[in-house]
């Protein structure tokens, strides 16, 4: 019997995908997915399930079912632990795969795509339902309709609570909709699920910011429980000379802002920040026909292989090359931006210096040192700041509800007053799967 290898070409061809806004990942045939699921060794102690997946998905069990040709059984298995596999099946970095036993000396089993195949088959075959619940007479307001808010809402509804989700944007989805671009997650995928949640009885009130359109006090008095799922709205800025120049934007404004100023067509784009958000900004620049795109990062280039600081089955510290990096552009590390170069009020570039990092014995960077005489000017006529998020502001809803923040500005929930906090606002900016797993864990204690 031929040995099945992990499929490496998971994306549509670059020439095709940069010309549209459709999902970059290609579709897999039933046979391909079945063969990939059959690579699962069904380990005695499956680390993918315990150490890997924050939702505790029963990965070997659904792989077995799919490998045997029973997608329905696989779908029923994933439904035991996850409400929205269509989101994680598209955007999860697959923490489970990093802790797959095969990953010790081979390529990990392809779990995320199996997950997507099961849920998409389920939608196609009409298997997807939101189970009925017995009302318990209690009411909950969920503030924020991102993945953690949606997960908390559905988990509470299934326990019998009457749930209303308040969302300040025109539609729910949070960063699934207003952060992650369409080519990673098509927005119809969110609408399809939200329709089902609505039919199941969850009420959605959009264009409604709690603390502004409705007071936090009103919400507190009118609901038995409050779930804050407001994310981390504040982006980290780069307050160096020249910051006020035209043509310098925060990543979320660039990714979702409308108008010519946010369009990269014909421009030399500089992305400051080497994470996921920065990668998506590279993807957008290329789709819009930029002249060039350079992504710079202050930190050093991570090792090509798993660093000894993150041994298996931990999520590895190592170089990651996203879909966008296969599409074009250039990446550089060890770059510290000192000031923006401004001409006629518009950004014309960045003056930067090189840094060298002192490394710990385990291969992690600990201290940056500027390299003398390394000053250079990087030309750019559009600069995007993609340097992460700073947490939750102490004013607004947090202050109105008399809540406290951790030193890292995450909300400290107050169960004594029936106020809970879930997702990024409770833990710092992270991942969709972690935001949902946090909501799952907190509601499970109800
Ligand atoms: C560009 C980008 C790409 C990303 N890519 C990935 C990826 O590929 N994979 C991955 O796993 N993660 C990714 N992430 C991270 C992921 O999107 C977040 O970790 C996740 O969405 C957090 O979910 P959440 O529900 O806690 O918060 P959010 O998604 O931020 O949702 C919070 C919601 O609360 C609403 N809100 C805030 N205040 C109020 C108020 N007072 N009243 C009413 N509503 C309010 C907001 O409008 C928002 O809709 C990415 C993030 C960005 C920015
Ligand atoms: S949610 Fe993420 S970590 Fe969990 S099984 Fe799916 S891909 Fe793996």
Binned at pLDDT 50, 70 and 90, residue 378 comes out as very high
Burial per residue of 1-40, b for 16 or more beta-carbon CB atoms within 10 angstroms, e otherwise: eeeeeeeeeeebeeeebbeeeebbbeebeeebbbbbbebb
How far apart CA 114 and CA 128 sit, in angstroms, is 17
Helices 147-158 & 188-200, crossing angle to 10 degrees?
Answer: 30
Tens of pLDDT, residues 353-377: 999 999 998 888 999 999 999 999 9
Q: What is the mean pLDDT of residues 277-301?
A: 97
How far apart CA 322 and CA 330 sit, in angstroms, is 12
Q: For a substitution probing ligand 2, which of 112, 117, 430 has the most ligand atoms within 8 Å of its CB?
A: 112
Which residues make Cβ contacts (< 8 Å) with residue 26, sequence separation at least 6? Answer: 9, 10, 11, 12
**In the chain, pLDDT over 90 holds for what percent of residues?**
94
Of ligand 1's listed atoms, the one at least distance from the Cα of 424 is 26
Q: Do domains 21-125 and 237-387 have the same CATH topology?
A: no
Q: Name the CA radius of gyration of the chain, rounded.
A: 23
Predicted local confidence at residue 363, as pLDDT = 84
In contact, 439 and 155? CB cutoff 8 Å? yes
CA of 92 to the centre of ligand 2 (A): 6
Binned at pLDDT 50, 70 and 90, residue 1 comes out as low
CA of 409 to the centre of ligand 2 (A): 27
For residue 52, what are the CA distances in angstroms to 77, 94, 430?
17, 8, 15
Q: Is the CB of 431 under 6 A from ligand 2?
A: no
CATH architecture type of domain 139-233+390-444: 3-Layer(bba) Sandwich (3.50)
Predicted local confidence at residue 2, as pLDDT = 67
Q: Is the CB of 86 under 6 A from ligand 2?
A: no
Of ligand 2's listed atoms, the one at least distance from the Cα of 59 is 5
Helices 432-444 & 147-158, crossing angle to 10 degrees?
Answer: 30
Q: Where are the domains of the chain?
A: 21-125, 139-233+390-444, 237-387
Q: What are phi and psi of 143, to 5 degrees?
A: -105, 110
Nearest Cα neighbor of 424 from 443, 407, 437 is 437
Q: What is the mean pLDDT of residues 135-158?
A: 98
Predicted local confidence at residue 94, as pLDDT = 97
How far apart CA 24 and CA 14 sit, in angstroms, is 9
Q: Is the CB of 88 under 6 A from ligand 2?
A: yes
Binned at pLDDT 50, 70 and 90, residue 18 comes out as very high
Kindly report the average pLDDT of the chain as a whole number. Answer: 96
How far apart CA 296 and CA 332 sit, in angstroms, is 5
Q: For a substitution probing ligand 1, which of 147, 419, 432, 439 has the most ligand atoms within 8 Å of its CB?
A: 432
Predicted local confidence at residue 362, as pLDDT = 86
Sign of CA dihedral 380, 381, 385, 386: negative
Predicted local confidence at residue 415, as pLDDT = 97
How far apart CA 51 and CA 315 sit, in angstroms, is 9
How far apart CA 290 and CA 383 sit, in angstroms, is 12
CA of 268 to the centre of ligand 2 (A): 37
How far apart CA 20 and CA 283 sit, in angstroms, is 11
Strand partners, 210: 214
Among left, alpha and beta (phi > 0; psi -120 to 50; other), residue 246 is beta
How far apart CA 128 and CA 259 sit, in angstroms, is 39
How far apart CA 128 and CA 79 sit, in angstroms, is 10
Q: Is the CB of 119 under 6 A from ligand 2?
A: no
Nearest Cα neighbor of 210 from 197, 225, 224, 220 is 220
Tens of pLDDT, residues 47-93: 999 899 999 999 999 999 999 999 999 999 999 999 999 999 999 99
**Domain 237-387 superfamily per CATH:** FAD/NAD(P)-binding domain (3.50.50.60)
Which residues make Cβ contacts (< 8 Å) with residue 119, sequence separation at least 6? Answer: 75, 78, 85, 86, 89, 128
Tens of pLDDT, residues 412-445: 999 999 999 999 999 999 999 999 999 999 999 9
How far apart CA 284 and CA 292 sit, in angstroms, is 12
Burial per residue of 349-370, b for 16 or more beta-carbon CB atoms within 10 angstroms, e otherwise: bbbbbbbebeeeeeeebeeeee
Q: Is the CB of 180 under 6 A from ligand 1?
A: yes
**How many other C-beta atoms can be found within 10 angstroms of the C-beta atom of residue 276?**
21
Residue whose Cα lies nearest atom 6 of ligand 2: it is: 112
Ligand lying closest to the C-alpha of residue 233: 1
Nearest Cα neighbor of 147 from 167, 119, 126, 163 is 167
According to CATH, the topology of domain 21-125 is Fumarate Reductase Iron-sulfur Protein; Chain B, domain 2 (1.10.1060)
First-to-last CA distance in the chain? 50
CA of 40 to the centre of ligand 2 (A): 14
Ligand lying closest to the C-alpha of residue 109: 2
């Amino acid at each position: 019997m031929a040995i099945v290898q992990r499929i490496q070409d998971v994306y549509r061809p670059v020439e095709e995908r940069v010309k549209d806004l459709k999902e970059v990942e290609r579709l897999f045939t039933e046979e391909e997915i079945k063969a990939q699921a059959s690579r699962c060794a069904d380990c005695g102690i499956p680390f993918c399930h315990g150490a890997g997946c924050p939702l505790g998905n029963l990965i070997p069990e659904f792989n077995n079912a799919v490998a045997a040709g029973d997608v329905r059984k696989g779908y029923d298995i994933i439904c035991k632990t996850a409400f929205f596999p269509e989101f994680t099946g598209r955007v999860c970095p697959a923490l489970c795969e990093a802790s797959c036993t095969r990953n010790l000396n081979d390529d990990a089993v392809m779990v995320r795509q199996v997950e997507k195949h099961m849920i998409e088959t389920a939608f196609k075959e009409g298997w997807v339902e939101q189970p009925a619940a017995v009302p318990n007479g209690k009411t909950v307001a969920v503030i924020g309709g991102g993945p953690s808010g949606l997960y908390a809402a559905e988990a509470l509804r299934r326990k019998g609570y009457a749930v209303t989700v308040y969302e300040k944007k025109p539609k729910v989805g949070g960063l699934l909709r207003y952060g992650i671009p369409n080519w990673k997650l098509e927005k119809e995928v969110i609408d399809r699920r939200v329709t089902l949640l609505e039919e199941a009885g969850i009420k959605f009130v959009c264009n409604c910011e709690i603390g502004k359109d409705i007071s936090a006090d009103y919400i507190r008095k009118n609901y038995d429980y409050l779930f804050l799922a407001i994310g981390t709205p504040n982006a980290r800025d780069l307050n160096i000379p020249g910051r006020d120049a035209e043509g310098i934007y925060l990543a979320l404004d660039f990714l979702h802002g409308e108008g010519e100023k946010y369009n990269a067509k014909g421009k030399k784009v500089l992305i400051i920040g080497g994470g996921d958000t920065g990668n998506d900004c590279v993807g957008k620049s290329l789709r819009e026909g930029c002249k060039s795109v350079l992504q710079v990062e202050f930190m050093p280039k991570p090792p090509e292989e798993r660093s000894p600081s993150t041994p298996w089955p931990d999520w590895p510290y190592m170089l990651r090359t996203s879909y966008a990096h296969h599409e074009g552009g250039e990446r550089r590390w060890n770059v510290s931006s000192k000031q923006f170069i401004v001409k006629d009020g518009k950004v014309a570039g960045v003056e930067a210096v090189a840094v060298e990092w002192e490394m710990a014995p385990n291969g992690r960077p600990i201290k940056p040192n500027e390299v003398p005489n390394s000053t250079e000017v990087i030309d750019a006529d559009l600069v995007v700041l993609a340097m992460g998020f700073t947490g939750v502001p102490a004013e607004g809803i947090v202050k109105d509800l008399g809540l406290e923040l951790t030193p890292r500005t995450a909300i400290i929930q107050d169960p004594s007053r029936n106020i809970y906090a879930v997702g990024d606002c409770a833990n710092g900016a992270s991942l969709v799967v972690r935001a949902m797993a946090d909501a799952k864990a907190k509601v499970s204690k109800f």
